[in-house]
């Protein structure tokens, strides 16, 4: 397969060019390098119609066969890691090593999801009756993914939706459509026509999808702001929704950590994928007794990291993915500068109109709790470091936030760390652990970080509705 050109949508198992095209920019160069189809409304209608037509036969396909096909899709992705890696780096900006991890994770995630069983719950079984609840598919799922992990986050939707017997219309971000279009192309030879349709387009396509009367459920990953629009649009005909939204995760470092050992781990918890991770550390709270040495160790480690084109050997952090996000992160840095906060590293943003969207690693020293950099989700390589005195105080500061996606606690005392973790109002807490999403565990946000979950049995069931059968026991 050619991964450098010929980007087509997949509708009803066929390659479909756009009625128009949209340019895709390589963020390391700030210049377009390819075009993707710009799906028209009529083309979206045909994708939804194809998914609807394919649904009854797919839902009736034995579960074991659906699992096997999802597993096979995962394998086909693993067989195409090299080509997909190059392409993902070109459109997303992340270093090749991170692009490869994402693609391998996508293949393995689909394979893991294909092993999760759809439960049947027997609520009563007595002399009079059997009451049994099973989980049946919803129909056509409209899936919308963001640009930070276009492939992995699509896999979180494709696997459970298809295993449970739904069909799908998948829409990647206009900033990163190409590798997802290639996944559609790979799937053409594996899945029956219409089961997985992939469409790409501009800003209208998302609202068309969420408002489409032929769609039964929206599975959305993206910002909280957009998530609220999705929910409003989906309300018109009571579409089911799963919303995986933004975060402002706190990392809490207890006084007993080994400063030298933990500095690089904390750095990567915040700066992996150039800070563009929903569950990245976005606020770092360090106990006052170790604030100075830990901050010095993190600055020293960060200063050694090479920021550059993700396609170049040795690059550890790539560019920001797109211009609007670059401008957003830049405005947070400018705000910190205007308010006179102390920069431990970085803070100088070049004013470039055409070159790549590179941003220096920026560490800010103890900004106030009400500053923009503490209150807002930065989603870029900028991190506020703050000192705290007591556990009660830091837990209150961490929870004083509209988001509730994830967080982390760092300590040599596992029990003490777990105790703090349990007090955090977030869907996931990592304890001395890097960000890890298990295919077998629920992942979702509290508060404005989302509705519903992905992963595990709970995530699988988000693509189903219940049907309870109440059967009278026949006399023996």
At 6, list the tokens.
């010929």
Whichever of 171 and 217 has its CB closer to ligand NAD, that residue is 171
CA distance to 35, 241, 253, 303, per residue, from 284 (Å):
39, 32, 8, 18
* Residue 280 Cβ vs ligand NAD, minimum distance, rounded to whole Å: 8
User: Catalytic annotation on 448?
Assistant: no
CA pair distance 180, 23, nearest whole angstrom: 15
At 281, list the tokens.
């550390």
Whichever of 144 and 195 has its CB closer to ligand NAD, that residue is 144
* Residue 20 Cβ vs ligand NAD, minimum distance, rounded to whole Å: 16
CA atoms within 13 A on the CB side of 402: 11
CA pair distance 385, 269, nearest whole angstrom: 13
Whichever of 245 and 417 has its CB closer to ligand NAD, that residue is 245
Nearest residue to ligand NAD by CB is 206
* Residues paired with 44 in a beta bridge: none
Whichever of 11 and 294 has its CB closer to ligand NAD, that residue is 11
Provide the binding-site residues for ligand NAD, judged by CB under 6 A.
144-148, 153, 171, 173-174, 206-207, 210, 221-223, 226, 229-230, 244-247, 278, 377, 379, 405, 445, 450
Contact 217, 138 (CB under 8 A): yes
Active-site annotation holder among 98, 185, 244, 454:
244
* Residue 176 Cβ vs ligand NAD, minimum distance, rounded to whole Å: 8
At 35, list the tokens.
């075009």
* Residue 329 Cβ vs ligand NAD, minimum distance, rounded to whole Å: 12
Whichever of 246 and 367 has its CB closer to ligand NAD, that residue is 246
User: Catalytic annotation on 91?
Assistant: no
Whichever of 30 and 146 has its CB closer to ligand NAD, that residue is 146
Active-site annotation holder among 39, 98, 102, 278:
278
* Residue 389 Cβ vs ligand NAD, minimum distance, rounded to whole Å: 30
Residue 191 has φ and ψ, to the nearest 5°, of -95, 150
Contact 160, 180 (CB under 8 A): no
* Residues paired with 287 in a beta bridge: 388
* Residue 273 Cβ vs ligand NAD, minimum distance, rounded to whole Å: 10
- Pairing mode of beta strands 362-365, 382-388: parallel
- The residues near 199 (Cβ < 8 Å, ≥ 6 apart) are 9, 11, 37, 39, 43, 44, 47, 169, 170, 171, 205
Degrees, nearest 5: CA angle 298-301-302: 85
Contact 303, 295 (CB under 8 A): no
CA pair distance 407, 425, nearest whole angstrom: 9
- Residues marked active site are found at 244, 278
């Amino acid at each position: 397969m050619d991964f450098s050109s010929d980007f087509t949508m997949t509708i009803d198992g066929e390659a479909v060019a756009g009625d128009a095209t949209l340019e895709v920019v390589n963020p390391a160069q700030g210049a377009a390098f390819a075009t993707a189809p710009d799906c028209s409304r009529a083309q979206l209608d045909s994708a939804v119609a194809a998914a609807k037509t394919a649904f009854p036969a797919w839902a009736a396909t034995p579960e074991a066969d659906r699992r096997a096909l999802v597993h096979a899709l995962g394998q086909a992705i693993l067989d195409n890691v090299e080509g997909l890696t190059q392409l993902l780096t070109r459109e997303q900006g992340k270093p090749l090593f991170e692009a490869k991890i994402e693609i391998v994770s996508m293949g393995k995630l689909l394979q893991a999801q294909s092993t999760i069983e759809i439960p049947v719950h027997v609520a009563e079984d007595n002399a009079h009756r059997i009451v049994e609840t099973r989980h049946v598919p919803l129909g056509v799922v409209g899936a919308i993914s963001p640009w930070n992990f276009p492939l992995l986050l699509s896999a979180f939707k494709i696997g459970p939706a298809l295993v449970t017997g739904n069909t799908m219309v998948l829409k990647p971000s206009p900033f990163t459509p190409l590798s997802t279009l290639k996944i559609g192309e790979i799937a053409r030879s594996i899945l029956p026509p219409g089961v997985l349709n992939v469409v790409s387009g501009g800003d209208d396509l998302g609202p068309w999808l969420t408002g489409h009367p032929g769609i039964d459920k929206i599975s959305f990953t993206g910002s909280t702001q957009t998530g609220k629009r999705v929910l409003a649009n989906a309300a018109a005909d009571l579409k089911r929704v799963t919303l995986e939204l933004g975060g402002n995760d706190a990392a809490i470092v207890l006084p007993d950590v080994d400063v030298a050992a933990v500095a690089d781990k904390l750095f990567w918890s915040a700066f992996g994928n150039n800070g563009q991770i929903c569950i990245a550390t976005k606020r770092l709270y360090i106990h006052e007794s170790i604030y100075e040495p830990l901050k010095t160790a993190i600055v020293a480690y960060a200063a050694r990291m090479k920021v550059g084109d993700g396609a170049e050997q040795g690059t550890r952090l790539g560019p920001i993915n797109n211009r609007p996000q670059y401008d957003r992160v830049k405005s947070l840095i400018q705000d910190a500068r205007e308010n006179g906060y102390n920069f431990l590293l970085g803070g100088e943003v070049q004013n470039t109109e055409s070159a790549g969207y590179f941003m220096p690693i920026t560490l800010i020293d103890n900004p106030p709790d009400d500053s923009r950099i503490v209150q807002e989700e930065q989603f870029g390589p900028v991190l506020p470091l703050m000192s705290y005195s007591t556990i009660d105080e830091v837990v209150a500061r961490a929870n004083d936030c509209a988001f509730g996606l994830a967080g982390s606690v760092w300590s040599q005392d596992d029990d003490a760390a777990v105790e703090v973790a349990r007090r955090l109002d977030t869907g996931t807490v990592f304890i001395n652990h890097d960000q890890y999403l298990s295919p077998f565990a629920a992942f979702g946000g509290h508060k404005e970080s989302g509705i519903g979950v992905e992963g595990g049995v709970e995530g699988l069931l988000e693509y189903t509705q219940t049907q309870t059968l109440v059967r009278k026991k026949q006399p023996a």
